Amino acid sequence: MAGGRCSSHHALKIFRVLLVLEIMTAVGLVPDDVVSLTGRFRLVLAQGSWEVLVQNAGISSMHTAVTHFGNVVLLDRTNIGPSQIPLNGGRCRANPADRVSQQDCTAHSAVFTPGSNSIRPLFIFTDTWCSSGQFIGDGTLVQTGGDSDGFSKIRTFAPCGDDGECDWVESTDTQLQNGRWYATNQLLPDGRQIVVGGRNVFTLEYVPANGQGAINLPLLTQTDDGVQYDNLYPYLHLLPNNQLFIFANRDSILYDWQTDTVVRSLPTIPGEPRNYPAAGSSVMLPLTSESGWTNPEILVCGGAPYGAYLNPAGELPASQTCGRIAPLAGAAVDWAMETMPMRRNMGDMVLLPTRDVLIVNGAGSGAQGWGNAQNPVQTPVLYHPQAAAGTRFQSLTASDIPRVYHSTANLLPDARILVAGSNTHEFYTLTGDLPTELRIEAFSPPYLAAGGAADRPRFIDAPASLAYAATFTVTVATAAANPTAMELNLASAAFVTHSFGQGQRLLKLGVSATTNVERNQYAVTSTAPPNAVVAPSSYYMLFAVDSVGVPSTATWVKIG
């Protein structure tokens, strides 16, 4: 069943069994462990559902990030002519460097509010095409680079609630040391961001620099052929030993950012190139307190064969493999390869509150680039990291909307996945095959089909901030059986662009006690992450996940 949908005949049989179990449960004839198993069967049988939230957002979001106010920053490039949403207040953008519209009165960024589904235009001046970003400790989104007049820019967005007027601020006195187009950012334990790579840029630097210059990174030179690249938007993951896992093309290293030292070169992943424009994706699998926050694992899925970018017809088939590696495993470190249910590149990988991975969006052939994508893959897949090899994939309900180049997927605080963007054309093209996509939709994973909102855990009380290693208690309402099996999981808010969630991480906290305080309400005692290496100081979504794998709506917590 983990590999796909069961037949309707077998599904009917299983649902009948579940119905009998639920009746027996109601009269007290079924023990708690069977109740828990029943709930998990319901989750596996469910396939998830889609909902279009906005028919026309006005812009096609190339870059998407969820703020700690729960609203969502949508960001496209500016150098494309008018969007479909006007700037408010009669504002216009007068930019002689713009190659299409030197006088532009439309927005190229906006704030979207789930729930009300409202959109407020934002003002961005320089070109953010294929730029990068990350939230910092106070919740500000720091955004770097782009193309043309945005090549060396540093921009900030300090978010606000729906009644605020927060907007982009572009620095006039600080810029990147090397202009960067197709780079990647990662928040570090010291509060700075490291910014790595870019097209024809083989260095890394820090924002703020604090007097430190750009540093050459040989991995970027070694993995660049000067023609197709395949090493842009490198994958960065901050490991719990304070080293960086950096992956480009098919190769990866462990990098000590404090001493500028390549600690180790790791084995080459089998198969195709995995970075832009071949366009796989990557996550660091959830870290857990049970392991002492050690033994991280990296998952890389999808990609395209060399030459896919150079063949604009999009005929070369995408990769069908994932590689999984434990980079700190000593001499035994190597890639374990797995086969996805279907070929996919340009897929977005999202860490879910349940510690599973959702793979969504993408194409079955071609590569990133204008018109290079063909055969959209509209069926999302769940990857269950804790399951046995060969049983980890579960195909879910397909979307009606193809999402290929320049599409995004972000975890929302209500545990849905916000899916936006898709533009495989140089400019907005609203007709023909794979038109510029202006709709925003939400995917509800199977865990939201377990019985409705009334059956989900719910925070009654939770702290707004946590010091490192601090013991804390939350109060959670839940009607699920076996409440002592509840999890408390922290999810960061990623900056998602080009099939990679920059800064994405998920942490399973240790639960030391669960006490019934009144009917269906429990005091759950836990311990915050130990340090800024495990959880760089920022805002995180705290989820309570019940014993059958159903998450609460998150509460935002400032860590550190």
Measured CA to CA, the distance from residue 441 to residue 410 in angstroms comes to 11
Condensed to tens digits (0 to 9), the pLDDT of residues 525-541 reads 999 999 999 999 999 99
Q: Where are the alpha helices (DSSP H) in 144-266?
A: 218-222
Residue 5, pLDDT score: 32
Region 278-307: what's the mean pLDDT?
97
**pLDDT one-digit tens code per residue, 67-92:** 999 999 999 999 999 999 999 999 99
pLDDT band at 45; cut points 50, 70, 90: low
What is the DSSP code string of 5-36?
PPPHHHHHHHHHHHHHHHHHHHTT-S-HHHHH
| Edge-first strand listing for the sheet containing 118-122 | 118-122, 109-113, 72-75, 63-66, 495-497, 500-502
More confident residue, 19 or 385: 385
Confidence of residue 21 (pLDDT cuts 50, 70, 90): very low
pLDDT at res. 536: 98
Q: In this predicted model, what pLDDT tens digit does every residue of 544-554 receive, in sequence order? A: 999 999 999 99
Question: For the whole model, what pTM was predicted?
Answer: 0.92
User: Would you state the structure tokens that stand for residue 74, as one six-digit string?
Assistant: 């949508």
Instruction: Name the residue with higher pLDDT: 325 or 14.
Output: 325
Q: What is the mean pLDDT of residues 105-127?
A: 97
Residue 293 gets the label, from left (phi > 0), alpha (psi -120 to 50) or beta, of left
Does the structure show a pLDDT above 50 at 358? Answer: yes
462-514, pLDDT tens digit by residue?
Answer: 999 999 999 999 999 999 889 999 999 999 999 999 999 999 999 999 999 99
3.40.50.300, 3.40.640.10, 1.10.287.70, 2.60.40.10: CATH of 452-559: 2.60.40.10
The whole-number pLDDT of residue 273 equals 98
Q: What is the pLDDT of residue 220?
A: 98
Q: What is the pLDDT of residue 27?
A: 42
**Mean of pLDDT values over 379-384:** 98
Confidence at residue 453, expressed as pLDDT on a 0 to 100 scale: 64
What are the extents of the domains in the chain?
Answer: 49-447, 452-559
Q: What is the pLDDT of residue 369?
A: 94
pLDDT of 36 strictly over 80: no
Are residues 322 and 338 in contact, defined by beta-carbon separation less than 8 angstroms? yes
% the chain with pLDDT above 70: 91
Q: Label residues 225-241 b or e (16+ Cβ within 10 Å = b).
A: eeebbbbbbbbbbbbbe
Task: Read off the pLDDT of residues 124-151 as tens digits, 9 standing for 90 and up.
Answer: 999 999 999 999 999 999 999 999 999 9
If one compares 23 and 360, the residue with the highest pLDDT of the two is 360
* 3-state DSSP assignment of residue 94: strand
Which of 131-135, 309-313, 374-378, 432-436 is the least confident region?
Answer: 309-313
For range 202-223, the mean pLDDT: 98
The two tokens of residue 405 are: 């180049």
pLDDT tens by residue, 422-450: 999 999 999 999 999 999 999 999 999 86
What are the tokens at 331?
């001499």
The domain defined by 49-447 folds into Methylamine Dehydrogenase; Chain H (2.130.10)
